[in-house]
Structures are given as C-alpha cells and as structure tokens.
C-alpha cells in the first residue's frame, strides 16, 4: 500500500509528455511520489512520478485494453517481479502489467500495473481519494530528473503566475521541453494520399559563452523529431512526402535572422510576419498499398545567434509563438510532388517558395489563422 504522505504534489499530466518517449494516455492523474533521490551511479537527482487512471472500464473512461495497448505501443514487456512465497523472479501472466523500456523516461525502469476487478483497492488509503479507491485502476510509475519534475510541480499550481496548465506555450520559460505532435491526411496533385504523423520536442535554450566573444553569448538547445506514415491510396504503391518541423517566432524576436521569414497565408512573400527555426525533419518513403512505416527522424543541436550577454535573447528564444509541420515546396515542385493537406494552409517563405503548414495540436495557429 502506498503511503499517502509520500505523495508530495499533484501535477498536470500533459506536462509529462515533453519528457517521455511515448505520450501518456489521456485522463491520468499525476503525482510526484516521495522526496527526490540521488542516482546510484552519479550525483544527479531523480524524482519518482506516478500517473493513476481511476474508474477504468466505466462509461466514458479508458478500458484495461486501452492501457494494455498503450503499454505495448510504448515497448512494454511482461512485468518481472519477485514471488513473495519462493523469493524467485516471476513474470506477469495476466497480460495487464508491463515493464517499460529504460528509454521511456530516459532514467530507469518504468512499469504499468493494472487491476481490473470492480471492488479492488489499489495502493490507496480510502481516506485519500474516497471516490476513486474502488474499481478498476491503473498506475504508470517512472522517474524523471528532479529539476524537471519540480518545474512541472511549479507549473501546475492553480492561479500561479507561472502556471502552465494545459498551455504548451509556457513550457520553455519554465525550464521544460516544449512537446509537439500532429497528424494530417496529405494528398498530391496526382491523387495519391497518405496519413502523415510527426512528433518531437524542443529543449529550453540556455546561454553558452565558450565560443562567443567577450560580452556575447550563443543560445543553445536541442530538438528531436520523429514520425510515421500510412499509405491510404487504395490498391496503389505510394511515394509519400517527407516533412519538416519549425518553431515560429514574431519577426522582432532574437530568433529571426532576416532570411527565414514566413508570411501569413494569402499575403505577399516579401512581407513576412514571422520567422522559423528549423527543428528537424522526417524522410519520405515508398509504401506498398495499405502499408504503414515509422519514418527516420532527426535529433539536432540548436545554436542560434551571437547576442549581448546583458540582453534578453534567451528569454526570446524560449518564447516561440507556435510549432508547425511543413511539407512541399511549391517554388521547386514538379508534377506529383506538390502535396497539400486536409487542414492547414499554403504560405510563402522569404526567398524559399511556399510550403504547406499544419499547426501542431494544442498550439495557436498564427500562419493560417
């Protein structure tokens, strides 16, 4: 039984996705558990996190099968533990409980544990959350770096001036990675179609003076982009497009260098309103009918500008307005390569033709309006 006194803070579950390899199922209640600990092979601090799903299998809620399928998609394997009777290692046979890969949170072993009965207690004193301690439940247990976990706790305080809530635009300013994902049905001018998905994250920018002149700094970060695609062209092999990801900033931001301008859809390419920082891309591929495939992505170091140390460049770099998936290049397209989507819009790029742009889920759409 979990000790309720060790649950130190409730946090916005959505904030966790920026630090996890696979985004969590929606509807979880997330808690920091126990004080921060120290790694056994370094001086780094970690914080345990538990994400609970209550009233599983009830109307309008996730099912045991939903969570099981999610665990498998995250790379889960049957949970291994110790049999309390013979003190031997045993492997779960229920099909509900999983070990997640060490890469899931980038820290250590993570687990998914479920109970499916209607009258089961699951690790809570009934006085802690009386309305939720009966019935089918699930718990995803993992660890994060303590500074990230504590930043999430600060961002989750209701009414706080630093509260992120479900607003992803505040993540970087709070020291958290900005996560992004979207999917779109894409179609080219010959009628081929595909379902394209991308996801990734941008780490907060920090200052670096090692290679900068005295009194100056560079803004450094890293970005990761990955994706997948499904051929939806009936009975036909399809060569699907690659896609890039960009962080969009107001034109006056320190992130803008004058060559990466973007115009609002329907306006002249010589009058950009925003600029873009390229975060990475996924490659196109050729797919058999109905086939799906993960796409090769990228992890990029980001190093921007040479800025005065006394200025606010880092704050500006950590304040993108939005993130977009982009594909196609109308200025350089040939027959069969001019792709568009069921959502988003075409907009002009300064000195670079035009691209189709799809805003990332949950982020404001400033280009297509």
More confident: 274 or 55:
274
Q: What is the pLDDT of residues 135-148, one digit of tens each?
A: 788 899 999 988 88
**What pLDDT does 164 receive?**
46
Query: How far apart (Å, rounded) are the C-alpha atoms in residues 151 and 11?
Result: 10
Query: How far apart (Å, rounded) are the C-alpha atoms in residues 225 and 295?
Result: 10
- Average pLDDT of the segment spanning 89-95: 84
What is the sign, positive or negative, of the torsion defined by CA atoms of 363, 367, 368, 369? positive
**What pLDDT does 174 receive?**
84
List C-alpha distances in Å: 362 to 166, 252, 314.
9, 24, 24
Query: How far apart (Å, rounded) are the C-alpha atoms in residues 140 and 216?
Result: 44
Question: Which residues are 33's β-sheet partners?
Answer: 7, 48
**What pLDDT does 307 receive?**
94
**Predicted confidence (pLDDT) at residue 119 exceeds the cutoff of 70:** no
**What pLDDT does 269 receive?**
83
Q: Which helix (H) or strand (E) holds 295?
A: strand 292-308
Query: How far apart (Å, rounded) are the C-alpha atoms in residues 155 and 165?
Result: 7
> The tokens of 120 are what?
């089961």
**What pLDDT does 314 receive?**
96
3-state secondary structure 214-235: CCEEEEEEEEEEEEEEEECCCC
Q: What is the pLDDT of residues 335-355, one digit of tens each?
A: 446 788 989 999 988 877 888
Query: How far apart (Å, rounded) are the C-alpha atoms in residues 90 and 87?
Result: 9
**What pLDDT does 196 receive?**
94
Highest mean pLDDT among 86-95, 115-124, 240-249: 240-249
- Average pLDDT of the segment spanning 100-117: 84
**What pLDDT does 197 receive?**
94
**What pLDDT does 158 receive?**
66
Highest mean pLDDT among 38-42, 110-114, 249-253, 346-350: 249-253
**Predicted confidence (pLDDT) at residue 41 exceeds the cutoff of 80:** no
Query: How far apart (Å, rounded) are the C-alpha atoms in residues 341 and 280?
Result: 20
Whether 95 contacts 116, CB under 8 Å: no
Question: Which residues are 359's β-sheet partners?
Answer: 324
Whether 348 contacts 308, CB under 8 Å: no
**Predicted confidence (pLDDT) at residue 369 exceeds the cutoff of 70:** yes
Q: Which of the 8 DSSP states describes residue 190?
A: T
Q: Which residue has the tokens 């699930």?
A: 138
What is the sign, positive or negative, of the torsion defined by CA atoms of 221, 178, 112, 143? positive
Reported pTM? 0.75
């Amino acid at each position: 039984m979990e000790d309720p006194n060790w649950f130190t803070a409730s946090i916005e579950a959505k904030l966790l996705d920026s630090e996890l390899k696979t985004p969590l199922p929606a509807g979880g209640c997330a808690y920091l558990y126990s004080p921060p600990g120290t790694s056994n092979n370094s001086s780094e601090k970690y914080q345990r996190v538990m994400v609970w799903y209550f009233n599983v299998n009830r109307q309008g809620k996730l099912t045991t099968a939903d969570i099981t399928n999610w665990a498998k998609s995250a790379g889960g394997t049957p949970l291994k533990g110790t049999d309390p009777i013979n003190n031997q290692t045993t492997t779960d046979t229920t099909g509900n409980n999983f070990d997640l890969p060490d890469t899931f949170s980038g820290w250590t072993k993570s687990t998914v544990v479920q109970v499916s009965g209607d009258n089961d207690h699951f690790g809570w004193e009934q006085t802690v959350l009386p309305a939720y301690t009966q019935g089918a439940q699930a718990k995803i247990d993992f660890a994060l770096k303590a500074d990230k976990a504590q930043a999430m706790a600060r961002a989750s305080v209701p009414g706080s001036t630093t509260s992120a809530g479900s607003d992803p635009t505040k993540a970087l300013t709070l020291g958290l990675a900005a996560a992004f994902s979207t999917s779109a049905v894409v179609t080219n001018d010959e009628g081929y179609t595909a379902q394209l998905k991308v996801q990734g994250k941008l780490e907060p920018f920090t200052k670096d003076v090692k290679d900068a002149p005295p009194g100056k700094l560079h803004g450094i970060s890293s970005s990761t982009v990955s994706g997948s695609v499904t051929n939806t062209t009936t009975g036909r092999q399809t060569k699907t497009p690659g896609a890039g990801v960009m962080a969009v900033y107001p034109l006056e931001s320190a992130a803008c260098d004058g060559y990466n301008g973007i115009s609002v859809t329907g306006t002249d390419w010589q009058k950009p309103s925003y600029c873009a920082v390229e975060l990475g891309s996924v490659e196109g591929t050729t797919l058999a009918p109905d086939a799906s495939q993960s796409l090769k992505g990228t992890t990029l170091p980001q190093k921007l500008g040479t800025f005065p140390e006394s200025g606010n460049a880092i704050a500006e770099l950590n304040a993108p307005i939005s993130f977009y998936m982009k594909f196609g290049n109308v200025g350089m397209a040939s027959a069969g390569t001019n792709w568009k989507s069921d959502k988003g819009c075409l907009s002009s790029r300064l000195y670079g033709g035009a691209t189709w742009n799809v805003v990332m889920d949950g982020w404001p759409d400033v280009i297509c309006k």
